[in-house]
C-alpha cells in the first residue's frame, strides 16, 4: 500500500496547480495524489498537460489517481463543470474524462452519489432526504448513469468507484455494484463518512473489502449533541475510527491499495461555512426509517463506539468540541479563522504518522515514494 492525499485537501493545491502540487506531495513525504476528477488536472482535458502530469508523477515515484465526479442526475445542475466538459452533454463529459484518465493510466475513477450542503444541519444537509425526489428515485437515476457509462468504462479497462459518501450506505453501494457489474464499478472507501449513516467503520470495511479500489482516509469525533449526534473531522488516529482494525482488512483484500488522506481543508483554500459539524439525527423516526438495512447489532456496536470515545473526552484524554475548535491545530473559532496553511500541514503530518505507525505495528507493507532512475 502507499499513503498519499486527496488534492482538494492539499493546502494551496489550486494556487500551485497540479504539477507543482506533485512536488509539494513529495516534499511532505507522501506517496501520491488523488485528483477528484480529471478536470482538476486539466479543466479542458488537454492531453499534453495530462501526459506531463503523468510523466512527472512517475519521475517522482508517486501514484496518480483521478475520477469523473458526481453521478446523481438530480444534482447535475449543482456541478456545471461536468456538463460543460461535454459541451452541454454530461454523459459525453463523463465519457471524455474516463477516456482521458485511462489514456494516462488512471483506471480507478472516483464517483460520488450526491452533494453535501454545509449551510444546513440535520438530514436536510444531504441529498438522501431532499423533498423534491425520493432517495430511491435518486439511486435509480445513479444506476442509469452508471449503466450508460459502463460500456465506456469496460472499453477503457476502468472502474467507476462509488464513494461511501455522506448520503449513501454501504448496502446501497453493494446493490449498485451487483446490478451494474463489478467489472466496471467499485468502491472508494471513506473511513469516516459511513458514520453519518449510522454504520460502524469496521463493519462497513468488511462488507465492502472485496470491491474497495480507492480510499479517503479520515477520522472524526462523533458524540451526543442537540438533535442526536454531531460529526467533527479530527486528525487520523484522533477520532473514533479504529484504523488498527480497518487497515489490515484493506491490506488483505487489496495489498496494492492506495491510501489517500482526506483531511480538514485550510480556510486559506476554502472559507469556512457557518456550521462546522453535521447533526446526525439518529433518534429521529424519519432518519431511522431512511436506513432500513441498519441492523440492531451494528447500531449497538456503533453506539458503544460513541460511548467509549465520550468517556475519553470526559477523562480529558481528548479535547471536547469547543476546545478543539479553538485550538491552534484544530478547527478555529469562526471569528479567528486561524486554521491556515501551517495548521493544515500539521494535520496532514499527524494523520500520516498514525497510518505509518499502525502499518508498522500490524506488519503491513507501506511503500515510500522512490524517484524513478533516469537512463544514463
Question: How far apart (Å, rounded) are the C-alpha atoms in residues 263 and 351?
Answer: 8
Confidence of residue 275 (pLDDT cuts 50, 70, 90): very low
What dihedral do alpha carbons 309, 314, 318, 321 form, nearest 10°?
A: 90
In percent, the amount of the chain with pLDDT more than 90 equals: 77
- pLDDT given for residue 126 in this prediction: 86
Confidence of residue 123 (pLDDT cuts 50, 70, 90): confident
pLDDT per residue as tens digits for the range 61-80: 999 999 999 999 999 888 88
- pLDDT given for residue 331 in this prediction: 44
Whether 213 and 257 have beta carbons less than 8 Å apart is answered as: yes
Q: Is the pLDDT confidence value at 373 over 70?
A: no
Closest CA relative to residue 227, chosen from 330, 125, 116, 128: 125
pLDDT per residue as tens digits for the range 317-346: 998 887 877 665 444 433 334 677 888 898
- pLDDT given for residue 254 in this prediction: 97
In percent, the amount of the chain with pLDDT more than 70 equals: 91
**Which residues on neighbouring strands pair with residue 234, listed in sequence order?**
219
pLDDT per residue as tens digits for the range 93-105: 999 999 999 999 9
Q: Is the pLDDT confidence value at 285 over 50?
A: yes
- pLDDT given for residue 372 in this prediction: 61
Average of pLDDT values for 136-148? 98
Locate all alpha helices (DSSP H) within 190-340, ordered by sequence.
201-208, 243-253, 285-289, 296-315, 321-325
Helix (H) or strand (E) holding 368: none
As given in the structure block, the three cell numbers for residue 94 are 463523463
Whether 251 and 364 have beta carbons less than 8 Å apart is answered as: yes
- pLDDT given for residue 335 in this prediction: 35
pLDDT per residue as tens digits for the range 241-272: 999 999 999 999 999 999 999 987 766 666 65
Strands 212-216 and 185-190: parallel
DSSP string, 71-103: --GGGGGG-HHHHHTTTT-HHHHHHHHHHHHHH
As given in the structure block, the three cell numbers for residue 194 are 459511513
- Does CATH number 3.20.20.150 belong to domain 2-362? yes
- pLDDT given for residue 93 in this prediction: 96
What's the mean pLDDT when you consider all of the chain? 91
Average of pLDDT values for 363-376? 70
User: Strands (DSSP E) along the chain, which ranges?
Assistant: 2-6, 32-34, 63-70, 108-112, 159-163, 185-190, 212-216, 219-225, 228-234, 258-261
pLDDT per residue as tens digits for the range 189-239: 999 999 999 999 999 999 999 999 999 999 999 999 888 999 988 999 999
As given in the structure block, the three cell numbers for residue 203 are 463493519
Amino acid at each position: 500500500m502507499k499513503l498519499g492525499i486527496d488534492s482538494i485537501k492539499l493546502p494551496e493545491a489550486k494556487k500551485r496547480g497540479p504539477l507543482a502540487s506533485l512536488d509539494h506531495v513529495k516534499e511532505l513525504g507522501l506517496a501520491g495524489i488523488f485528483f477528484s476528477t480529471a478536470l482538476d488536472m486539466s479543466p479542458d482535458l488537454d492531453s499534453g498537460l495530462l501526459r506531463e502530469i503523468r510523466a512527472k508523477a512517475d519521475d517522482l515515484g508517486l501514484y496518480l489517481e483521478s475520477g469523473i465526479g458526481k453521478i446523481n442526475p438530480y444534482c447535475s445542475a449543482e456541478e456545471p463543470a461536468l456538463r460543460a466538459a461535454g459541451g452541454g452533454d454530461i454523459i459525453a463529459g463523463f465519457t471524455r474524462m474516463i477516456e482521458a484518465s485511462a489514456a494516462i493510466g488512471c483506471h480507478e475513477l472516483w464517483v460520488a452519489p450526491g452533494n453535501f450542503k454545509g449551510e444546513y444541519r440535520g438530514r436536510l444537509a444531504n441529498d438522501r432526504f431532499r423533498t423534491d425526489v425520493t432517495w430511491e428515485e435518486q439511486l435509480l437515476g445513479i444506476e442509469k448513469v452508471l449503466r450508460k457509462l459502463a460500456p465506456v468504462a469496460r472499453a477503457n479497462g476502468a472502474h467507476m468507484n462509488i464513494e461511501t459518501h455522506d448520503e449513501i450506505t454501504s448496502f446501497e453501494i453493494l446493490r449498485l455494484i451487483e446490478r451494474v457489474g463489478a467489472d466496471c464499478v467499485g468502491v472508494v472507501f471513506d473511513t469516516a463518512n459511513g458514520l453519518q449513516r449510522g454504520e460502524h467503520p469496521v463493519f462497513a470495511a468488511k462488507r465492502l473489502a472485496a470491491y474497495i479500489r480507492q480510499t479517503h482516509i479520515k477520522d472524526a469525533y462523533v458524540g451526543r449533541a442537540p438533535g442526536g449526534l454531531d460529526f467533527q473531522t479530527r486528525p487520523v488516529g484522533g477520532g473514533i475510527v479504529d484504523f488498527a482494525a480497518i487497515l489490515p482488512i484493506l491490506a488483505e483484500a487489496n495489498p496494492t491499495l492506495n491510501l489517500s488522506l482526506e483531511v480538514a481543508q485550510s480556510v486559506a483554500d476554502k472559507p469556512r461555512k457557518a456550521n462546522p459539524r453535521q447533526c446526525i439525527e439518529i433518534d429521529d423516526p424519519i432518519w431511522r426509517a431512511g436506513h432500513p438495512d441498519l441492523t440492531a447489532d451494528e447500531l449497538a456496536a456503533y453506539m458503544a463506539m460513541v460511548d467509549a470515545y465520550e468517556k475519553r473526552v470526559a477523562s480529558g484524554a481528548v479535547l471536547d468540541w469547543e476546545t478543539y475548535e479553538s485550538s491552534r491545530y484544530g478547527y478555529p473559532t469562526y471569528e479567528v479563522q486561524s486554521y491556515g496553511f501551517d495548521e493544515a500541514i500539521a494535520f496532514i503530518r499527524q494523520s500520516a504518522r498514525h497510518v505509518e505507525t499502525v502499518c508498522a505495528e500490524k506488519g503491513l507493507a507501506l511503500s515510500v515514494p522512490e524517484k524513478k532512475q533516469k537512463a544514463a
